[in-house]
Amino acid sequence: MATLRLGDEAPDFTAETSEGKINFHQWLGDSWGILFSHPADFTPVCTTELGTVSKYKAKFDKRNVKVMALSVDGLESHEKWIKDINETQDTTVNFPIIADEDRKVSDLYDMIHPNASTNLTVRSVFVIGNDKKIKLMITYPASTGRNFDELLRVIDSLQLTAYHKVATPANWQNGDDCVIVPSVTNDQIPVLFPKGYTEIKPYLRMTPQPNLN
C-alpha cells in the first residue's frame, strides 16, 4: 500500500455496498465525492453521523458531491443497522455503505491505524475532485463525530479554487471575501474579478466571493 497524498488519484475499487456492487470511479462519474469510514456498525457516534449525512443530501447534491461510507462489517449487518439509523435519526439513509469485510478498501485508503485499533477503521474522510484527485484528507479518532458543516465549508473552498481561482482565508465562511490565488497577475484581475479587489500587500489581494450575485 503506497501512502496516499493530496493530488494523488483516488484509488479505484469495486466493492459490495448496501446499494449493490459498485465500481468507485464509474459511480463517481463527473461528480465530486466523499469517501468516509466508520469504525463499526451499531455504534453510537457512527449512527448519528450517518443520520446527519442523510439529512445533508440536498446540500451535497447542490455541490455535485456524491457520498459513500464504509465499515468493515458485512452487508447483512449494514442492512439491519440502516433500519436502526432510519428509525433513531428520523431519516432515510440515501447513500451506499461499503461492506468491507476483507478490508480491501480500508487497506487501499489506509483507514486502519493499528496503534488506534488493529481491526476497526478510524474516522477517515477523503474529498475527491471531479478529476478523481484527492483534494482533502482528514483523520478523526473513533470517539469524535465529524463536523459535516466544516466538510461543506471545505468543499465550497475547494470548488471556489477549482472554478474561480480564489483561495479562502482563515475561518472563511460562505459570503466572506476571498484571496486571489498568487498565480493570477494584476493584469488578469479586471477580467477575472470584475467586482474589484483590494491589494493589502502585493501577495495578499482580496476580492468579493466571485460566485455570489
**Residues interacting with ligand BEZ, by CB under 6 A?**
39-40, 43-46, 142-143
Least Å distance between CB 140 and ligand BEZ?
11
Least Å distance between CB 113 and ligand BEZ?
13
Q: Which of 46, 85, 142, 166 is catalytic?
A: 46
With respect to ligand BEZ, which residue has the nearer C-beta, 121 or 209? 121
Is 178 marked active-site? no
With respect to ligand BEZ, which residue has the nearer C-beta, 81 or 95? 81
Least Å distance between CB 65 and ligand BEZ?
23
Strands across the sheet containing 14-17 = 20-23, 14-17, 97-99, 65-71, 32-37, 123-128, 134-140
With respect to ligand BEZ, which residue has the nearer C-beta, 40 or 189? 40
With respect to ligand BEZ, which residue has the nearer C-beta, 25 or 103? 103
Least Å distance between CB 43 and ligand BEZ?
3
For 110, half-sphere exposure in the C-beta direction (CA atoms, 13 angstrom radius) is: 11
Give the position of cell 465525492: 33
The H-assigned helical ranges of the chain are 24-28, 44-55, 57-62, 75-89, 104-108, 148-164, 189-192
| Sign of the CA dihedral with 3 first, then 95, 172, and 9 last | positive
Pairing of strands 97-99, 123-128: unpaired
Residues annotated as catalytic (active site), given as ranges: 46
